[in-house]
């Protein structure tokens, strides 16, 4: 009876093991040679691929500028970013030096095209706002690494299938890790914000390394055929070189992943400790600064002051979490007086600025009134037709050849006035004495007719 039970149990275990193998087996459904051909064909970043990349970068930049996740995802659907990176991972896995060179060259083309496109987009002043989507791409975290690694694994596994229906969707996972950092780096270049450029480019580099690493690992796991070389010594030398390169990439990748994991864990533990502090003491905690590299935490509190023993208690909690050298600095209420004083200064400055703006508005209103008065004066001065005035002057005196009319703006630095000027040209035979008498006569007549005592009459 016991033997029968053991046999039944063994059969159940074997059946369950076979069931799991059927679910997770990818080895038997892999078309290795076709996968190699597909990856090689997608490495080139030229022609249609180059233009599709440019357009997708423009769409992604627009999405980041408007903080629209849907638009960014739309750009990812058409992006051809994965080709050169898959080529790098594959070349390391099958010891294909020529493919590695080609992949690196096209990878450089891809980066330059992306940076130039996003740089030109963000060079337009109306597109230079710092949005949450852009800020989120300035520093890597462990979640970014998980996305890049998972995306790389998903894509190379999907590509290796005989039925490649999921390739496009897996490519979106790759673009998720690459497109936003590239666009953010272009934003940093366009605006001169080097923290954006450096942080985003670092994130892009880390993601690229992990995607290539994922490709390399799957290629090795699925035992893709190595490239054949006629010269055995050359094959050995190339395999050694590419193995060294693979290790040089893989080992730092593990280190970066570990560091980012520790940084994320450190920040999470700080948030947990401070949340407990707020619950226990009922105080406000703000302006939290976390520096993992120095294991230093600083924050400010409003409400009850913290004793040194309480701060040491917080440091002990961090020590219990494995961060022995954590230093916590707390800005207390007394120290906050400087901050409050500064806030008061800013408020006073704001009020002063508002008063100045109000005064400027009053001055502008006065200027507008002066301009309106001048327009009215010009309008009043033009109610009498110049042609009629000229005809009347000519009918009164046959010795006049020409009459000119113009207005001059005059100011005594207190007000501005418009002064009408008439210039009368007499015939040459008319004496200066008669001209002077006639000018005086016409001045009085025009002042009366135009109802303006400031009219000036001259002779030519």
pLDDT tens for residues 436-446?
888 888 888 88
Residue 278, token pair as written in the block: 């707020």
CATH of 17-227, one of 1.10.760, 1.20.1080, 2.40.10, 1.20.120: 1.20.1080
pLDDT tens readout for residues 357-375? 777 777 777 777 776 666 6
Q: Is the pLDDT of residue 115 over 60?
A: yes
Cα distances (angstroms) measured from residue 282 to each of 276, 277, 279, 335, 338: 10, 8, 5, 19, 23
pLDDT grade for 250, boundaries at 50, 70 and 90: confident
Least confidently predicted of 41-55, 140-154, 329-343: 329-343
pTM: 0.60
Residue 373 is predicted with a pLDDT of 67
Fold of 384-459: GMP Synthetase; Chain A, domain 3 (3.30.300)
Q: Is the pLDDT of residue 173 over 60?
A: no
Q: Is the pLDDT of residue 379 over 60?
A: no
325, 295 Cβ separation under 8 angstroms? yes
CB neighbour list of residue 193: distance below 8 Å, 6 or more residues apart: 187
Which H or E element spans position 286?
strand 284-291
d(CA 42, CA 80): 8
Residue 337 is predicted with a pLDDT of 54
Start-end of CATH 3.30.300 domains in the chain: 384-459
Question: Among 208-212, 334-338, 374-378, 386-390, which range has the highest average pLDDT?
Answer: 208-212
Q: Is the pLDDT of residue 76 over 80?
A: no
Start-end of CATH 1.20.1080 domains in the chain: 17-227
């Amino acid at each position: 009876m016991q033997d029968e039970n053991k046999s039944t149990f063994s059969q159940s275990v074997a059946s369950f093991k076979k069931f799991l193998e059927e679910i997770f087996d990818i080895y038997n459904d892999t078309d290795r040679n076709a996968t190699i051909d597909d990856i090689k064909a997608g490495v080139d970043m030229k022609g249609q691929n180059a233009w599709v990349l440019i357009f997708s970068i423009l769409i992604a930049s627009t999405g980041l500028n408007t903080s629209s996740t849907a638009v960014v995802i739309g750009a990812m659907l058409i992006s051809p970013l994965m080709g050169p990176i898959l080529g790098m991972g594959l070349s390391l896995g099958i010891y294909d030096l020529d493919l590695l060179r080609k992949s690196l060259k096209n990878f450089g083309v891809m980066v330059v095209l992306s940076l130039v496109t996003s740089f030109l987009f963000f060079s337009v002043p109306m597109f230079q706002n710092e949005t949450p989507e852009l800020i989120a791409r300035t520093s890597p975290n462990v979640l970014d690494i998980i996305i890049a690694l998972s995306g790389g694994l998903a894509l190379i596994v999907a590509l290796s299938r005989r039925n490649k229906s999921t390739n496009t969707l897996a490519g979106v996972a790759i673009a998720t890790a690459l497109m936003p950092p590239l666009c953010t780096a272009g934003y940093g270049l366009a605006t001169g914000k080097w923290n954006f450029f450096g942080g985003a480019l670092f994130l892009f580099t880390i993601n690229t390394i992990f995607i290539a690493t994922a490709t390399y690992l799957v290629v090795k796991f699925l035992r893709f055929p190595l490239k054949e070389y006629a010269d055995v010594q050359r094959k050995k030398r190339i395999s050694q070189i590419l193995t060294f390169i693979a290790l040089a990439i893989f080992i730092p990748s593990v280190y970066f992943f570990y560091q980012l994991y520790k940084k994320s864990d450190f920040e999470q533990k700080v948030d947990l400790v401070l949340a407990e502090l707020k619950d226990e003491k009922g105080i406000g905690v703000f302006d939290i600064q976390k520096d993992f590299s120095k294991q230093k935490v600083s924050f400010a509190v409003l409400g009850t002051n913290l004793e040194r023993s309480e701060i040491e208690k917080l440091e002990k909690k961090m020590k219990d979490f494995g961060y022995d050298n954590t230093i916590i600095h707390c800005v207390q209420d007394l120290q906050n007086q400087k901050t409050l004083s500064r806030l008061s200064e800013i408020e006073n400055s704001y009020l002063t600025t508002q008063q100045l703006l109000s005064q400027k508005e009053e001055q502008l209103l006065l200027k507008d009134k002066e301009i309106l008065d001048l327009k009215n004066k010009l309008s009043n001065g033009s109610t009498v037709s110049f042609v009629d005035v000229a005809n009347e002057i000519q009918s009164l005196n046959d010795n006049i050849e020409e009459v000119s009319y113009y207005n001059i703006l005059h100011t005594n630095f207190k007000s501005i006035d418009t002064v009408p000027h008439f210039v009368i040209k007499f015939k040459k035979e008319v004496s200066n004495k008669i001209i002077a008498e006639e000018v005086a006569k016409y001045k009085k007549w025009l002042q009366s007719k135009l109802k303006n005592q400031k009219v000036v009459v001259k002779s030519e």
